[in-house]
Amino acid sequence: MKKTPQELLQIEYRPPRREWMDPHVDFEARRGTWSYPAAPKNLEYLGLPNPREWSPTDEDWKLPDDWKEIVHKGFLDLLDRFRSLKVFMDCCVRCGACSDKCHFFIGSGDPKNMPVLRAELLRSVYRKDFTTAGKILGSVAGGRELTLEVIKEWYYYFYQCTECRRCSVFCPYGIDTAEITMMARELLNLLGVNINWVVEPVANCHRTGNHLGIQPHTFKDNIEFLCEELEDVTGIHIEPPINKKGAEILFIVPSADYFADPGIYTFMGYLLLFEHLGLDYTLSAYASEGGNFGLFLSHDTIKRLNYKMYAEAKRLGVKWILGGECGHMWRVVHQYMDTLNGPAGFLEVPRSPITGTVFDNAASTKMVHICEFTADLIHHGKLKLDPSRNDGWKVTFHDSCNPARGMGLLEEPRYILRHVLNELYEMPENTIREQTFCCGGGAGLGNDENMEMRMRGGLPRANAVRHVHEKHGVNILSCICAIDRAVLPTLMEYWVPEVRVAGVHEMVGNALVMEGEKERTTNLRGEPLPGKEA
């Protein structure tokens, strides 16, 4: 990042003189705020349209000759299939309640990052092509001709929305700009206008089972390596079952949890927990991804990727599925999976084998969030915990957008944290729970070439963290999302370098008192515990 935080903070919220209907975007001047296009090999692998080499800075984007017709037909098709699109296109009154609710607007001041205008970029074309008033009156009625410049503008702004749905909370009609972004991305996909940071993980996941493209032998290696680390810290030897038929529970995590710092510590936390319980579970090298970048591409790719979860549960003959800490994964599991890939009649209504609790809130989907599972264990007193081992941490909790606004999982992680550590401080109320701010890197935007926009979009979150850091000395940001764990460390380094990032089950792992463990002198990261410094 070339720009300093001070430079980035020169934000102008007053809109410019130029009318928004002018679609021009200067990609060259705005480097650092957009993502690179999809590599042709990934589109080819997935059988998606128009694979080719191109760059947004090119004059010619090499679209199909009949691109206009493709978009028009595609739009009609989406209107036919989604009532949400029709209602959201028609009902906005431009009251502006959503306008300053988007982290990208707050961090950039770019008026087209106001959710209402982001939606108008699509809506203006809808009016021109599909409404009586727009057809007759054109721009007076807010209609706008679909031109190549408009396609370029869509690429820029619909890949500058993290589909976090914060705007939707404030809209009097619940207009969800994330839904509109998803529709726009569907349309752009028809032309092969998409970003590599979305398409490559999707292609990887389709092939190997996970976004990172980790093949089964490496999957096993990684996990064995983490178990060795874990043994160093706790003295306990764990061999997690992989692809084990007949296990009671299939456990699926986002792939970053067994691949990258700091997710790996969360993964260690899961393993310790299951060992503590003697749980009959298995991991899968085939369903080795909880996340689903298909969500950021199209509804079809959601279904293609999520197919593996139920398929693998069936093949292995488990009773139900437990899911790890991941944000967008849970939007998909909670709101899409059962509809797209279900019904999962071959599974049983999840029941905790330890406490006997029946998770009837997951009676149909048959998948339980690890935080629901663990909170229930704690409530029943089934875990032996020593919260003081986390005393080095002053913690705040970041609600990830999707578990918060997609499922309402707000209290479970807090309940857990309050039992596994002693110092938990909440950020200001307009920045947490259903009003939580995005990390700035969701929906496929967490790549390096987009760094300036990430730092801008992450500003509201970072600013709230800074607040509790200064007020209470908070030094770690806890979260339940793999994308958070991947992008928040960079964000913190930039805005609040004193604060680090951890998953909730890392904290659980630290606090768990295991049978037969050696005296713990370090936390799961291998750093000395308070009072145990050599």
Q: How far is the CB of 96 from ligand HEM (least distance, A)?
A: 8
364-393 burial: b if 16+ Cβ within 10 Å, else e: ebbbbbbbbbbbbbbeeeebebebebbebb
Q: Which is nearer to another protein, 233 or 438 (CB)?
A: 438
Closest alpha carbon to 15 in 124, 127, 99: 99
Q: Which is nearer to ligand HEM, 76 or 91 (CB)?
A: 91
Q: Which is nearer to another protein, 339 or 388 (CB)?
A: 339
DSSP one-letter code for 243: S
Task: Count CA atoms within 13 Å of residue 532 on its CB side.
Answer: 15
- Is residue 91 involved in binding ligand HEM (CB under 6 A)? no
- Kindly report the three-state secondary structure assignment for every residue of 264-301: HHHHHHHHHHHHHHCCCEEECCCCCCCCCHHHHCCHHH
Residue linked to tokens 């430079």: 7
- Is residue 175 involved in binding ligand SF4 (CB under 6 A)? yes
61-69, 201-209, 249-257, 504-512 -> range binding another protein (CB under 8 A): 201-209
- Is residue 351 involved in binding another protein (CB under 8 A)? no
Contacts (CB under 6 A) with ligand SF4, residues 62-121: 92-98, 101-102, 104, 115-116, 118
- Is residue 349 involved in binding ligand HEM (CB under 6 A)? no
Q: Give the burial class of 28: count Cβ atoms within 10 A of its Cβ; 0-12 exposed, 13-18 middle, 19 or more buried.
A: exposed
Q: Which is nearer to ligand SF4, 101 or 461 (CB)?
A: 101
Contact 320, 249 (CB under 8 A): yes
The C-alpha atoms of residue 212 and residue 202 are separated, in whole angstroms, by 9
Q: Which is nearer to another protein, 200 or 412 (CB)?
A: 412
Q: Which does 162 bind (CB under 5 to 8 A by kind): ligand HEM, ligand SF4, another protein, none?
A: ligand SF4
230-238, 254-262, 333-341, 518-526 -> range binding another protein (CB under 8 A): 333-341
Q: Which does 266 bind (CB under 5 to 8 A by kind): ligand SF4, ligand HEM, another protein, none?
A: none
- Is residue 419 involved in binding another protein (CB under 8 A)? no
Give the one residue of 41, 62, 73, 207 binding another protein; rule: CB under 8 A: 207
Contacts (CB under 6 A) with ligand SF4, residues 339-398: none
- Kindly report the three-state secondary structure assignment for every residue of 136-203: HHHHHHCCCCCCHHHHHHHHHHHCCCCCCCHHHHHCCCCCCHHHHHHHHHHHHHHCCCCEHHHHHHHH
Q: Which does 311 bind (CB under 5 to 8 A by kind): another protein, ligand SF4, ligand HEM, none?
A: another protein
- Is residue 311 involved in binding ligand HEM (CB under 6 A)? no
Q: How far is the CB of 172 from ligand HEM (least distance, A)?
A: 3
The C-alpha atoms of residue 72 and residue 77 are separated, in whole angstroms, by 9
Residue linked to tokens 């599974």: 347
User: Can you give the binding site for ligand SF4, defined by CB under 6 A?
Assistant: 92-98, 101-102, 104, 115-116, 118, 161-167, 171-173, 175, 177-178, 181
